Amino acid sequence: MAYRVLITDDSPAMRSFVRRVIQLSGFELSHCFEAGDGEEALDLLRREWVDAILTDINMPGVDGEELLRRLAADEMLRSVPAIVISTDATENRISRLLSLGARGYVTKPFRPETLRAELERILGVPVD
Amino acid sequence: MTDTSIHLALRESVVEVLEKMFFVEAITDLAPEIAAQSPAVLVALQFDGNPPGVFRMSLARSAAALIAADFLGEDPESLTVPQVEEVAKELANMICGAVLSRIESRVTFRLAAPELVTQDAISGTVCTVETGSGMLTAGIDMETRTCSTTARSAS
């Protein structure tokens, strides 16, 4: 089965890198959407179904924390699992983001296999 | 935390970020004095937290172009200057976040957006590495800490 993933990050370079890393990792990707902030992500999610969201925290406008709050408050979208990708590996931040509804947390820098494993974990992909 | 442990955290972070995200094996433990005088991309990044401070990075333009090409999976010749600079800002952001997470794993900090600067002194605790295509110098200056007095002008 191939999956549809949304990458939300204000940096086009980072979005491009994450997309490439997912592809290189061997994760089965059927479509990769991109959004530059939380607002754009929410707009896209109302039009397109995705299996998982990968989001940065620090973004102008609707940031990653607010995106998670809005997803949790939206009956249609709350079931879409989100993984936070961030440079911030502090315990407080990770706890807060998980309590806001993030299903996973990947700290930059990361290896491709780490991101793939986290995606497969939240999607319940059986281990080979 | 001592200056030595901050330096260790800085060095580990530079090496780890370059290796995992940019596929570069850095040569470490270079004296700051030998940092390249060649044209460089300069990035500064303020952070709030306990303590607040500023992170600065100087990356030789030759290295910045190759690192950006690897990061984006593109041919170096096809990249624009803004693309190279954006990747340099991402690199600075990741190194800074990695250092702060090592130094203050229980304290939440907030990073401002990285900014390109034209001239800035890299001060505080400083680490210089060779990337294989040019030098990278990173420095972290925390307001309430007694940092080493190493300082030099980056241009």
pLDDT confidence of residue A79: 95
pLDDT value for B147: 41
Position B148 in a domain: no
Which of B21, B25, B116 would best serve as a mutation to test chain A binding (most A beta carbons within 10 A)?
B21
Q: Is residue B75 part of a domain?
A: yes
Confidence band, pLDDT 50/70/90 cuts, at residue B93: very high
Number of domains in chain B: 1
Is pLDDT at B32 greater than 80 in this prediction?
no
- B152 occurs within a structural domain: no
For residue range A82-91, what is the model confidence (pLDDT) as tens digits? 999 999 888 8
- Closest CB to B98: pick one of A12, A13, A87: A87
Q: What is the pLDDT of residue B31?
A: 67
Residue B98 to residues A10, A16, A109, B11, B88, Cα–Cα distance (Å): 19, 21, 8, 10, 15
State whether B97 and A17 contact (CB < 8 Å).
Answer: no
Distance CA B15, CA B26 (A): 6
pLDDT recorded at residue B123: 82
Task: Examine residue B95 and state whether it is found in any structural domain, yes or no.
Answer: yes
* Mutation target vs B (from A11, A58, A63, A87; most B CBs, 10 A cutoff): A87
Total beta-carbon pairs less than 8 A apart between chain A and chain B: 72
Range of the domain at A74: 3-122
The CATH number of whichever domain residue A96 belongs to comes to 3.40.50.2300
Task: Count structural domains, chain A.
Answer: 1
The answer, yes or no, to whether residue A20 has pLDDT greater than 60, is: yes
CB atoms within 10 A of CB B2: 9
In a domain, B155, yes or no: no
Contact B16 A109 (CB under 8 A): yes
B137 contacts B127 by C-beta, under 8 angstroms: yes
Q: What is the CATH number for B114? A: 3.40.1550.10
- Tell me the residue range of the domain where B33 lies: 3-143
ipTM, 2 dp: 0.85
Domain assignment present for A127: no
Interface of A with B (CB under 8 A): 11-14, 16-17, 20, 58, 86-93, 96, 107-111
Q: What rounded mean pLDDT belongs to chain A?
A: 94
pLDDT at B154: 37
Instruction: Quote the percentage of chain A above a pLDDT of 90.
Output: 87
CB pair distance less than 8 Å for B94 and A108: yes
CA distance B12 to chain A (A): 12
